[in-house]
Structure 1
Amino acid sequence: MLSPNSPIETSRVNAIVLAARKVAPAVTSISVIQTRYYRSSPFMGDDVFERFFKDFFPPRVYKQEVQSLGSGFIISPEGYVLTNEHVVRGAQEIKVTLPDRREFDARVVGKDEALDVALLKMDSNDLPVAPLGDSDNLIIGEWAIAIGNPFGYLLLDPQPSVTAGVISALYRQIKPTSRQGANYRDMIQTDAAINPGNSGGPLVNAEGEVIGINTFIFTAGGGSEGIGFAIPINAARKVARELIDHGEVRGAWLGLDVQELTPELRERMGERDGVLITEVEEGSSAERSGLRRGDLVIQVNARRIMGLDDWEATNSCVLVGEKVRVTVLRDNEIFEFELTAEATPETSAPRSERFGLTVQNTTPYLRTKFKLRSTKGVVVVEVEAGSDGETAGVEVGDVILSLNNEEIQDIEDFERTQDRPEKGKLSLLVDRRGTRLYLSFTSMW
Structure 2
Amino acid sequence: MPDRLAPLTEALLAAARKAGAEAADAMAIDGRSVSVDVRGGALEQADRSEGTEIGLRVLIGRRQACVSASDISARTMAEMAERAVAMAREAPEDATIGLAEPADLARAWDLALLDLADPAPEPGAAELQDDARRAEAAALAVSGISQCQAASASYSRQRVFIAATNGFAGGYSRTSRSTSAVAIAGEGLAMERDWAAESRTYQSDLPSAEEIGRLAGERAAERLGARKPKTGAYPVVFDERIASGLVGHLLAAINGSAIVRGSSWLRDAMGAQVLPRGLSIYENPHRPRISSSRPFDAEGLPTAPRDIVRDGTLKSWTLDLGTARKLGLKSTGSAARGASSPPAPSISNIALTQGDHSRAQLIEAMGTGLVVTSMIGAAINPTTGDYSRGASGFWVENGRISHPVNECTLAGNLRDMLMRITPANDARGHLSHVVPSLLVEGLTLAGA
User: What TM bracket, shorter-length normalisation?
Assistant: under 0.3
Q: TM-score, normalised by structure 2?
A: 0.23
Q: Which has the higher helix share?
A: 2
